[in-house]
Amino acid sequence: MKKIAYIRVSTPEQRHDRQIEGLREICDELHIETQSACSTKRPIYNEVLKRLKSGDMLVVWDLDRAFRSVVDALTEAEKLRARGVHFQIANLNIDTSTPAGIFVYTMLSALAEFERRTLSQRTKEGMAVARKKGSRIGRPRVLTDEQLQEARQRIEVGGMTTASVAREMDVPQWTLSRSLRRQAETETVQ
């Protein structure tokens, strides 16, 4: 039986030292990936899954290092179990080769999903409150209202094209077009 570790961080700025340190002593192989768990392409993860044989064990440090959601975690664990592959969450000492391990794994997966959805809901509620108070959410606008007014005049009165005005303002054409459209929609609503 081989114990194969999958180690993941979401961005190059994040460190995987904690995972490596925790898994080095208990695993035969370590495979490291820098990729968001939500990414549809995780080549290292897919390669690790291909390498696992009946009797092997996939080991991760934390539950969220391998799976996107509870459904994903349970589905993947079931696929592994069907192949005779076990799964271990090292920092929690959960091992799906035992009935108790499967039970605890299922409960923790549900709790992790609940936490993720609760955080998402709180974020959306906070953004809604901020919008009601007049705060703008998102990236700062590239063009001011004054710049957009000037651009609109140059296009409507001066006969210039959106592309030429955008070039002069040193912004992509789609940025100017979208900004002008947004400003026109706002004026219509008011």
- pLDDT tens digits along 66-101: 777 767 777 888 899 899 999 898 888 888 888 888
**pLDDT-derived band of residue 110, with 50, 70 and 90 as boundaries?**
confident
Average of pLDDT values for 113-131? 89
Average pLDDT value for the chain: 88
pLDDT attached to residue 99: 87
Indicate the pTM of the whole model. 0.57
Q: Residue 27 — pLDDT band, cuts 50, 70, 90?
A: very high
In 3D, which of 69, 56, 72, 60 has the Cα closest to residue 33? 60
Contact, 62 vs 91, CB < 8 A?
yes
pLDDT for residue 167: 94
CATH superfamily, domain at 3-115: Resolvase, N-terminal catalytic domain (3.40.50.1390)
Q: Which pair of structure tokens corresponds to residue 9?
A: 């961080």
pLDDT for 95 equals: 86
Q: How far apart are CA 17 and CA 23, in angstroms?
A: 10
Active site residues: 10
Whether 3-115 and 145-189 share one fold: the answer is: no
> Cα 104 to chain center, whole Å?
25
The Cα 121–Cα 166 span in angstroms is: 38
- Please give the sequence-ordered ranges of beta strands (E in DSSP) within 51-132, or none if there are none: 57-60, 86-89, 94-95
Q: Could you tell me which CATH number the domain at 145-189 has?
A: 1.10.10
Is 190 a residue whose pLDDT tops 70? no
Q: Which amino acid is at 84?
A: G
Structural domain spans, the chain = 3-115, 145-189
Task: Name the nearest CA neighbour of 17 among 32, 2, 37, 38.
Answer: 32
